[in-house]
Amino acid sequence: MGRKEYFDDPAAPAANSLVPAATVFVEDEQRRVLMIKRTDNGLWSLPGGAMEIGESIAACGVRETLEETGYRIKIVQLIGVYSDPRTVIAYDDGEVRQQFAILLRGELQAGAPATSPESAAVDWLTADAIEATSMSDATRTRIAAGRRAAAEAEIA
């Protein structure tokens, strides 16, 4: 299934769905960011996805990161909530989802890179690689927020 993200675009379709989701920012010791190349649009993204009934948002972030990357993490911080109704994601099946994503910071526990039906590639990207890589503006915004939160947490 393909998807297209819209931000503050008057031509964007109207939302018909709202789904809570977790997005997870994880850095390694070299300050590289754990990212996936999405299979539905070919863009690089932070791991994450829709919350399921019966799980917490933190459990969702842990599950989605493992499913999409092969890495086990633990959630260590809530970074932000992204719910701007001007941001929608249109799917090929007609669903148009209003953004409702919780950005969490994760800490690597174990694992090895593994792709999934949602991730064509998994990699740890440097700041320079992130600048040169195709991704949505929403992903870039969340990476910047994750870097700020990680730096503040280290100082505290």
Domain CATH number, residue 111: 3.90.79.10
State the residue range of the domain holding 94.
3-155
154: burial class by Cβ within 10 Å (0-12, 13-18, 19+)?
exposed
Computed over every residue of the chain, the mean pLDDT equals 94
Instruction: Say what the pLDDT of residue 154 is.
Output: 63
Alpha carbon of residue 154 to chain centroid: 22
- What pLDDT shows up at residue 155? 59
Q: How far apart are CA 115 and CA 50, in angstroms?
A: 18
Residue 138, helix vs strand vs coil: helix
pLDDT for 139? 95
> What pLDDT is attached to residue 1?
63
**Do residues 121 and 31 touch, judged by C-beta distance below 8 A?**
no
φ/ψ of residue 48, rounded to 5:
160, 175
Instruction: Enumerate residue ranges in the chain where pLDDT < 50.
Output: 156
**Phi/psi at 79 (5° precision):** -95, -45
The total number of structural domains that make up the chain: 1
| Angle CA 83–85–91, to nearest 5 | 95
